[in-house]
Amino acid sequence: MEELQQFKADFFKALAHPLRIRILELLAEGDKNVNELQALLGSEGSAVSQQLAVLRNQNVVYGTKDGNKVKYSLRDPMVIELLAIAREIFNNHLINAISMLDRLKDDGDGAEKIPNQ
């Protein structure tokens, strides 16, 4: 059981960077090499390579030689579902925050009224 918890912790650590998340989103659209990722991200190649190394070390992505370049792929397509679920959770939090702000704005007891914008 402890091995599973450690795997999960390490897996989520590998995802715990905005650039790595964006790389995974791009790889969900199809395999890409470092130059393609760099162009899409508008980021330095070294930064992209460093983040790919983290993802590779945790077996989230893998590389395949394609001539003199390496094409990167998602190791498990379920990562796409995980990212979609994370987006849904984010949206739920956003909806709850907006709802709370609306309630505060409509609150007639004079407590912490938010001005209309």
Instruction: Assess whether pLDDT exceeds 70 at residue 88.
Output: yes
Q: Is 30 left (phi over 0), alpha (psi -120 to 50) or beta?
A: left
All CATH 1.10.10.10 domain ranges of the chain, comma separated, are 2-76
Taking only the tens place, the pLDDT of each residue in 52-62 is: 999 999 999 99
**2-76 adopts what CATH topology?**
Arc Repressor Mutant, subunit A (1.10.10)
Report the C-alpha dihedral over residues 72, 75, 77, 83, rounded to 10 degrees. -80
22 — pLDDT class (breaks 50, 70, 90): very high
pLDDT tens profile 25-83: 999 999 999 999 999 999 887 999 999 999 999 999 999 998 999 999 999 999 999 99
pLDDT at 44: 82
DSSP 15-39: H-SHHHHHHHHHHHT--EEHHHHHH
Give CA 66 to chain center in angstroms: 26
As beta bridge partners, residue 62 has 73
| pLDDT(113) > 70 | no
